Structure 1
């Protein structure tokens, strides 16, 4: 079992698949009852520290930082020594003025200075399909540019977390493809002023290029079963979903098949679906029963089956799903 027997938990199992389990309840209770050194990756996108209240719940200011810190504190013991904690954090403005909040950077400093995490690397997720915001400063007064980038902090328990960039190589540029195809040198092998030693083997095909820490992923999963089935069944979906390619990048990069991945703010359970597909064990947890119940639609290709699963979960009956993947 994923959870130790420590008496009654404030958690309900919603559904399980071949590789994972989705819970309804307080993620702090989940984290407190997971075995130490048992999780390879925690990846999540918490409710952002927005000034305007969202239906899925959010805090702001110093209260938000303290609230989020309690989760980070509970995550550290359950990570393996080479484990990672990846958190997607959207930007925000200060109340009433066109000045950026520093909350996401304060979170970064607090987690490292006070909780002892390492910042393995900072990533930036560019979402080209993000709508212009905030409305007051961007749309109405037109004094600020559209906010299209989230900060994604990759924290680690040790200085050398498990990671293999060869698993997340990206396609070569057209220029590099031409170089590889020609089998000729269009450059002079030499030590560059930057310190890079460009050798005669620079045009070797390694299967792809090393990715940058700018992740360009549009949030446009409009054709997924989750959204199509939910619309047809008139089921309310989670309003703040991240695209599958975001957790996919980090799950491939930082874990191996058979490792365990946890999402403590599961929402529509994109993380669980991706982990299932990649044959990682996973645990997802969210406070809202309706969102967890709707997320089951990600694991079925039949709308009637999905409706039956959803109805069972909404009536507090856990379901066992035969994996599609």
Structure 2
């Protein structure tokens, strides 16, 4: 990898400012184990973090995904979180997130390993026009999350993401004879005594219930204290952490091509995976360094860190400008 100087580094990763459509060209083919990202959604109105009109969105995103395919390892996974949207001025859902899925599978030969649905119970009712005012639609609280791969058998281990057993299952394990009698189900499945075995947890479903309640996170607190804007569209750290644990091993490389506030990098750091973050907004990426500050660090140190990173960004821009002018 021959990327230029990162904006900042941590024990396991590096964050780079720039258009990922260009930065992806600097990565080696078949070098990334997991690409986990949440691109700007195809919303009706333009947002401060940058988003593309619905009509152009599929082709815009496809250009990035084409380059993701090249850098993704044969055993690797591409996980992309896409929120739903309505068509402009109509109470009719946009199909953009399904169109991009079909295009990726038909034209790039990606395989849909499995579809996931992220249910955010804390999401506010929207869109206001159809839900709050006219009351003709229900609250949209589920995102589609596509798990894609280059082969039929990408690396994965569900035993790393087991969830706690239900109370009923715990009782069954304590006394199988009292709570369960082995028998053939109406579906034809033969459920034996091994059904009560304690495997350390239950296999999760593809409906991930994760509340996006980051309003009191350390990242938000430090952004407010230093008086800089936080990224307005963040997903919770538990979402990328689930896929990092599920689809990678220590030493693997995780990439986010639309890093924003670098939640993916923070999750990878927590899981002790190497990570790379690409984000074209220098302010958002600079503030994302707050995710790696210890809880006992002072606000003054956070402010100094942000100032140092901003100064470094200016230096990187100057060097990049000189290289371009010199044809380097």
- Size of the aligned set, in residue pairs, is 312
3-state SS in 1 of match to 2:44: coil
3-state SS in 2 of match to 1:57: coil
Rounded to whole Å, the distance in 2 between the matches of 1:161 and 1:197 is 29
Residue aligning to 1:304: 300
**Aligned-pair distance for 1:313?**
1.6
- Which runs of structure 2 are paired with 1:1-325 in the superposition (5 Å)? 3-4=1-2, 13-301=6-294, 302=297, 303-317=299-313
**Aligned-pair distance for 1:185?**
5.0
Rounded to whole Å, the distance in 1 between the matches of 2:180 and 2:302 is 57
- CA deviation map 1:89-143 (0-9, x unaligned): 0000011110000000001100000111000000000001111100110111111
**Aligned-pair distance for 1:317?**
4.9
Q: Which has the higher helix share?
A: 2
Rounded to whole Å, the distance in 1 between the matches of 2:123 and 2:221 is 21
In structure 2, stretches of 5+ residues that fail to align are 316-328
Rounded to whole Å, the distance in 1 between the matches of 2:177 and 2:301 is 57
- CA deviation map 1:239-263 (0-9, x unaligned): 0000000001000000001100000
Indicate conservation of the 8 Å contact 2:35/2:79, yes or no.
yes
**Pair 1:157–1:274, CA change in 2 (3 A):** same
Indicate conservation of the 8 Å contact 1:49/1:60, yes or no.
yes
**Aligned-pair distance for 1:36?**
1.1
The alignment's TM-score, normalised by the length of structure 2, stands at 0.92
Rounded to whole Å, the distance in 2 between the matches of 1:317 and 1:117 is 36
Rounded to whole Å, the distance in 2 between the matches of 1:77 and 1:59 is 24
Rounded to whole Å, the distance in 2 between the matches of 1:124 and 1:167 is 19
3-state SS in 2 of match to 1:202: helix
Indicate conservation of the 8 Å contact 2:171/2:179, yes or no.
no
Indicate conservation of the 8 Å contact 1:14/1:318, yes or no.
no
Query: Cα RMSD over matched residues?
Result: 1.5
Indicate conservation of the 8 Å contact 1:15/1:318, yes or no.
no
Rounded to whole Å, the distance in 2 between the matches of 1:193 and 1:250 is 34
**Pair 1:45–1:59, CA change in 2 (3 A):** same
**Aligned-pair distance for 1:214?**
0.3
Mean Cα displacement is larger for which, 28-37 or 116-125?
Answer: 28-37
Indicate conservation of the 8 Å contact 2:282/2:313, yes or no.
no
Mean Cα displacement is larger for which, 229-238 or 280-289?
Answer: 229-238
Indicate conservation of the 8 Å contact 1:264/1:285, yes or no.
yes
